[in-house]
Chain A
Amino acid sequence: MLPQSLAALQCQTLCSRLMKNTVTPAIVMLIQKRNIQKHWNPKWKWFRAKKFAPVELPDYHKKEKSLSEMTPEEVRTYFKENGVQPTRVWKERYFYISSSSDTFEQYVPPEGDGKISAINSAGAKQKLELLKKKTTSWRNVKKIRSYEPDFELYPDFIDLAQDIYVKSYESLVRGDIDEISQYVTERALPEALSNIKNKTIHWKYIKSIEPPRVAHVRCAEVISKENQFAQITVRFHSQQVLAIYDRFGRLMHGSEILAKDVLEYVVFEKHICNQYGTWRIHEKIIPDWMPAPTPVAKTFVKPTPPPPEEEITQAEAKPDVAVMQTEPSGGTGPQVATA
């Protein structure tokens, strides 16, 4: 206690000396003395402060280090301070055994599909290649029949596929996640649901331009030989209307009155060894040759590139410039291949 009060006294004398030496009175700090219930002598400041019980106030905005960044010593002190035992980290890894994680031998749609006629040479060549691939598909259809004797591609399956396709969209538009998971596999679900939060989607299936047809059939075993999955790629060529509104009801993408021709290759999957398995949408094949989808009309600020290692002169440096950029319309809209 004594050294503290001595220090306070020293401070006080120093202040008074300084005040004597100052030439201009304007520099002297004005201290309010009236209406303040404190002793004028700063010697008592320390004693006044001691009257308060020490309280550790939580700071809710302090950026705390995560345990992985701390040194072992810091971790030890952290747990010691809080008086708790370190526990093991809870890590879970989810496995879905009712759907596969990928598409087996993905079908590659012929280039210019929906535009090239079968009469010209390019179209004829494509038809020939398709015939060769068909044999493998028929072998796989037989495999499905070994689990499901009544299985027929036309018209049973193709009608079912069309129904699932339309219903999956309708449940997506309604935002009914429980229902959509009946029509979409666990692999495709996050893709289907991305970017649709708080948005209003208007979608209409007008008609089929060409009747849907099966393009590809594949079966594969996962882990054990009995665990069989079947995947069928179906080609849909239809006319649809899509309009996406944001949270405030303003049109973001598409149009309510403009019908577009949509060509899609949709992969359906079924866990065939499961007697309660159903056909569900697994993936949509987007070929490399397809043109980019219509971008959302929005302005973005172009991020400034990191400065190169050579020194840049002031004249060369440029500010951020707002430019139009193209952004893919996300997973919500159907992919438009032909227009």
Chain B
Amino acid sequence: MFQLRILSNCVLHQLNSNGKLFLPLITTASDLHTSQSCLKKSLAEIEVPRFTRHNNVVFPPQQEGEERRPAFVCHFKEKIKYSPDKMWYIACLIRGMSVDQALIQLGYVAKKGAPFIRDTILEAQEMAVKDHNVEFKSNLWVAESFVLKDIVIKGMRRHARVRMGRVEYKYCTYFVRLEEGKPPKNYYWTGPQTGPEKLEEYLQSLRYRKISSSL
């Protein structure tokens, strides 16, 4: 069964890539295999439309004196033949960096996934300038950068005594969101709070508390 699945994946990909030529366009593997495992979407396949729909959100016009809303662009590169676990390290590295800095840093990462991330950022940068009214392409920073597990193709490995083991060939999808402006000083930690800030936080917690059996 797994051999058939693999075959179908390869063939379908090749057919779909040149889809115009074939009148009865074969869409997914689910056409051939109707079992539940084939119908199930991967984690990344579910996330892609959810993530990219932010590119079509239209905000209301800003009033005069209002702070200029920073532009952002969401982009992804799907089905990269690389382990999502390994890609995680590279995705974390560039988080909260300016685009130029991220591209420089990625040039020094000797891992298979780095060029894919680099390409994704460059594409997103171009999209931002072309479609999202960003004036300067260097004035962007990596606001989100994460990786999700995509399809896994199962292979087989021979063991002793007529036994077999499963081999997983993993694919991953990389997501990035670039935001206009300068990167924050601390991406993960907002820094030590001052006295009034701490007081404000304490007051807020008091206001949010729930008094049971009250009105």
What residues make up the interface of A, taking CB atoms closer than 8 Å to B? 51-53, 55-61, 64, 66-67, 81-84, 86-87, 89-90, 198-200, 202, 243, 245-252, 298-299
Contacts and interface: CB of A to CB of B under 8 A. Distances in A.
B109 interface: no
A64 B62 contact: no
Interface of B: 6-7, 9-11, 13-15, 17-18, 20-23, 56-62, 68-71, 77-81, 116, 131-133, 135-136, 153, 155-159, 167, 169, 171
A247 B169 contact: no
A251 B136 CA distance: 17
Nearest to A59: B81
Contacts of B79: 58, 60-61
Contacts of A66: 18
A57 B153 contact: yes
Contacts of B78: 60
Contacts of A202: 61
B71 A248 contact: yes
Highest count of chain B CB atoms <10 Å: which of A55, A199, A246, A248: A248
B80 A249 contact: no
B155 A52 contact: yes
Given A202-B61, A247-B71, A251-B61, A55 B80 contact: no
Which of A59, A84, A247 has the largest count of B CB atoms less than 10 A from its CB? Answer: A247
Given A82-B11, A248-B70, A57 B169 contact: yes
B133 A84 contact: no
B157 A67 contact: no
26 contacts: A52-B156, A52-B158, A53-B156, A55-B6, A57-B10, A58-B9, A60-B13, A60-B79, A64-B14, A64-B18, A67-B18, A82-B14, A84-B22, A87-B21, A89-B20, A200-B60, A246-B133, A247-B71, A248-B59, A248-B69, A248-B70, A248-B132, A250-B71, A250-B133, A251-B62, A299-B136
Nearest to B23: A87
A249 B157 contact: no
A52 B157 contact: yes
Contacts of A248: 59, 62, 69-71, 132-133
B22 A53 contact: no
Contacts of B21: 67, 86-87, 89
Nearest to B22: A87
A297 B155 CA distance: 57
A55 B2 CA distance: 10
Given A67-B21, A298-B135, A247 B58 contact: yes
B167 A250 contact: no
A66 B71 CA distance: 36
A250 B68 contact: yes
Nearest to A60: B79
A223 B60 CA distance: 48
Nearest to B7: A56
Given A55-B153, A82-B11, A198-B58, A247 B18 contact: no
Contacts of A243: 61
Contacts of B61: 200, 202, 243, 245, 249, 251
Identify the interface centre among B13, B17, B59, B131: most chain A CB within 10 Å of its CB.
B59
Given A66-B18, A90-B23, A251-B62, 19 more contacts: A53-B158, A55-B167, A56-B6, A57-B10, A60-B13, A61-B77, A64-B18, A81-B14, A82-B11, A82-B15, A84-B15, A84-B22, A86-B21, A198-B58, A199-B58, A246-B71, A247-B58, A299-B135, A299-B136
A304 to B, nearest CB: 16
B10 A58 contact: yes
B26 to A, nearest CB: 10
Nearest to B13: A58
A52 B61 CA distance: 60
Contacts of A53: 155-158
Q: Which 7 pairs of residues, A with B, have the shortest CB-CB distance? A: A60-B79, A246-B133, A53-B156, A51-B158, A58-B13, A249-B59, A248-B69
Contacts of B58: 198-200, 247
Contacts of A67: 18, 21
A247 B157 contact: no
